[in-house]
């Protein structure tokens, strides 16, 4: 009998500027942030730059921050939009 894996496939998306990383309903499962030359933040918004802020992730200058989000992750009903402030790059893991 074949085993069945419950859940959904995890995908990645990377950006070096503010952008929609995933259009449509998605769950943020984790991220990797590469900081810029000064302390910065990644603001995760629901769907667009004017969407609700669901998470703000800080990152120290010239550092890397990672986060694995437990359970079902953070639900973005309208897609994952990121606003980068003094950040070189962000990679998100979503499903």
Residue 30 CA, distance from chain mean position: 6
- Percentage of the chain with pLDDT > 90? 88
- Give the residue-averaged pLDDT of 25-32: 97
72-91 confidence digits (pLDDT tens): 899 999 999 999 999 999 99
Q: Cβ contacts of residue 80 below 8 Å, gap of 6+?
A: 13, 20, 21, 22, 26, 28, 44, 92, 94
């Amino acid at each position: 009998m074949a085993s069945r894996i419950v859940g959904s496939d995890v995908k990645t998306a990377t950006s070096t500027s503010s952008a929609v990383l995933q259009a449509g309903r998605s769950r943020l499962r984790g991220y990797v942030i590469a900081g810029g030359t000064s302390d910065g933040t990644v603001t995760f918004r629901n769907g667009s730059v004017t969407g609700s802020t669901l998470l703000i992730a800080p990152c120290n200058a010239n550092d890397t921050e990672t986060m694995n989000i437990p359970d079902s992750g953070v639900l973005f009903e309208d897609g994952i939009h990121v606003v980068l402030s003094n950040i070189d790059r962000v990679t998100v893991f979503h499903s």
